[in-house]
Chains A and B, each alone.
Chain A
Amino acid sequence: MSQISLVLKRLFQRRVVLLAALMLLAIVGLAVFFPMFSSLDPNEIAVMDRLNAPSAAHWAGTDELGRDLAMRIVWGGRYSIMIGVATAFFSVVAGTALGLMAGFFRRLDAPIMRVVDAMMSFPDILLGISLVSILGASLWNVVLALVIVYTPRVARVVRASTLVIRELLFVDAARALGVATPRILYAHILPNLMSPVLVQLTFIFAYAILAEAGLSFLGVGVPPEIPTWGTMIASSLQYADRALWTIVYPGVAIILTALSLQIVGDGVRDLLDPKLRKTT
């Protein structure tokens, strides 16, 4: 416990990181808890209030159906953040498993990494839209497509770290003591992979939110009736010239979330890997 608090203390010594972490906490907290305790309906249509500019009554204005934009951004955050968390989690699990095997077992290295290389030669968004078009557009298929896109990234990072850790003395010692291979992987190598994996987790979380918005914009993402920040922008596109706020505010929500995630991820990386520290 004291170790964790020490890590957090050093992480938050950089005020930018602290600020970003607080912002992230606020965004996630609002998106998760506000809809639980609020009786307001984000889908309430008020035709008389269509495309109202931001005002005291509607902080971020209203959209083409007169729905309050600020509330929809909070509500849409749930889905955007859920997609980000799910994508990051599953990519990290699958990528860690693949990278660990490629890095530890010499025979598996070339086959796994050639597949990873092949997958990474497709540009992210292009692979994403192709996969969604084939799987069919739904919330979970978007997550699945993004997991397929980001798993190779994690695998590459984890393999590189595993190659280094495998050669360290404590692994030799464990082997000399007769520790079984699965236990070496699980108890000796995996814990040492935590820092690069954690960094990847925050970055993929950010990329997934951006990618979801991009897919929705292209019309091959989450179905339009599910409010995410991406689908909100996509559905208001044709009103952009009359009501720019319908585009601006959901975009700002995406930017703030992605930015704070990346700052926190960068902070964690600086802290855990002294070689990469900014002021070397």
Chain B
Amino acid sequence: MLRFVLSRLGGTLAVLVLVAVMVFALTRLASGDPIAVLLGDQATVEDIAQARVQYGLDKPVLTQFVYWVKEVAHGNLGNSIFLQRPVTQALAERAEPTFFLTLFAVGIAALIGIPCGLVAAVWRGRLVDQVLSAVAMLGASVPSFWMGLILIQIFAVWLGWFPASGYGNPGVSLAERLHHLVLPAVVLGVLNSALIIRFTRASVLDILNEDYVRTARSKGLSERVVILKHVLRNALVPIVTVLGLTMALMIGGAVVTETVFNLPGVGNLVVRAVLRRDYPVIQGALLVIAGIYVLINLVIDLIYMLVDPRIRM
């Protein structure tokens, strides 16, 4: 058991180091000198040379990398070139809309995906299964920004039920802010429910073939009890896992949705940083988002191991 935990931790550490190397390499490969971007058009050759020394860019790449990792380990992601503040602060300020958006979206995806997947599995091969499979595939074929634009037109412009964009003026109530999140959360949730439908269907089908389901049926339990108590409850473990991973992935998917609805979230921050070549922000955001994903993965694996002793073998 301890050996399993240690090897899993070792693997996670290796992945995190590789993530850091990739993020670092990515910005070093960038076309254009970051110092030139930082100092602007007015800088002289001497200014640039001085800044290179100041930022340690005259040192070997490996030294720079070690220095950068040390800083990151102390929670310092550097300073944004354009926002005049530390990257960590910029990320923290933008965290709230992204957090609520992904939370609502996962909720919507689960509310649609789990019942639909269950129904498709129970009546597998029937018309309802085929229709739901087709709908799930349709969901995976719609560009999220396109659905966002159409929903804005219908529910914000024509019907006026929801605001078309933004997160309300600073200082508005939480309810008002959440009102702004309804349409983006619907876009993200509905499109991601396709994944949950497929996954729920597959894991329910798996469980339906188990011996204990046959036992439950032969005990004379009603089909409703068998499906809800014996099948769904056991299928929920992997489904909840996928919901966790979906939420981690949505932080990235929110990039497009936040831009469509002009939400001041992390995704929006990254897009602006990319358009302005604000490399410290791109670097910091990539590192944090990939790190969250890796850690969620680790936590899920460890919980699995505690719940299911078979995995330890």
Contact = CB atoms under 8 A, between A and B. Distances in A.
Interface of A: 16, 114-115, 117-119, 121-127, 129-136, 206, 210, 213-214, 217-220, 233, 237, 240-241, 244, 247-248, 251, 254-255, 258-259, 262-263, 266, 278-280
Contacts of B125: 278-279
Interface stretch (B23-31, B63-71, B173-181): B23-31
Contact of A217 (B19, B153, B249, B256): B256
A20 to B, nearest CB: 9
B22 interface: yes
What are the 4 closest A-B residue pairs judged by CB atoms, nearest first?
A: A123-B252, A118-B18, A258-B141, A279-B125
B73 to A, nearest CB: 18
A123 B251 contact: yes
Interface in B235-277: 249, 251-253, 255-256, 259-260, 267, 270-271, 274-275, 277
A159 to B, nearest CB: 15
- Most chain A beta-carbon contacts within 10 A, residue among B30, B274, B291, B297: B274
B275 A213 contact: no
A185 B22 CA distance: 30
Contacts of A119: 22
Interface stretch (B35-43, B85-93, B131-139, B216-224): B131-139
7 contacts: A115-B18, A123-B253, A129-B271, A218-B274, A233-B149, A251-B150, A262-B137
B290 A122 contact: yes
Contacts of A129: 255, 270-271, 274
B11 A210 contact: no
B22 A134 contact: no
Contact of A118 (B22, B140, B157, B252): B22
Given A126-B286, A240-B149, A255-B141, A114 B15 contact: yes
B29 A122 contact: no
Contacts of A279: 124-125
Given A134-B26, A280-B205, A254 B146 contact: yes
Contacts of B138: 255, 259
A129 B260 CA distance: 15
A92 to B, nearest CB: 19
Contacts of A237: 149
B290 A121 contact: yes
Nearest to A277: B125
B140 A258 contact: yes
Given A129-B270, A134-B26, A254 B153 contact: no
Given A124-B252, A130-B286, A218-B271, A241 B146 contact: no
A265 B143 CA distance: 19
B293 interface: yes
Interface residues of B, number: 55
Given A262-B141, A278-B125, A279-B124, A122 B252 contact: yes
A241 B255 contact: no
B80 interface: no
B142 interface: yes
A131 B29 CA distance: 10
B14 interface: yes
B153 A244 contact: yes
Contacts of B145: 213-214, 217, 233
A125 B252 contact: yes
B196 to A, nearest CB: 16
A210 B297 CA distance: 26
B144 interface: yes
Given A125-B253, A129-B255, A214 B144 contact: yes
B50 to A, nearest CB: 26
A136 to B, nearest CB: 6
B15 A121 contact: yes
Interface string B108-141: 0000000000000000110001100110011011
Contacts of B144: 214
A214 B274 contact: no
Given A133-B274, A214-B143, A114 B14 contact: yes
A126 B270 contact: yes
A218 B252 contact: no
A218 B18 contact: no
B124 A210 contact: no
Contacts of A240: 149, 152-153
A133 B18 CA distance: 21
B95 interface: no
Contacts of B286: 122, 126-127, 130
B252 A126 contact: yes
Contacts of B152: 240
B278 to A, nearest CB: 10
- Most chain B beta-carbon contacts within 10 A, residue among A115, A133, A233: A133
A127 B287 CA distance: 11
B294 interface: yes
A121 B293 contact: yes
Contacts of A254: 141, 143, 146
A220 B256 CA distance: 12
A84 B293 CA distance: 27
B57 interface: no
B256 A114 contact: no
A262 B302 CA distance: 34
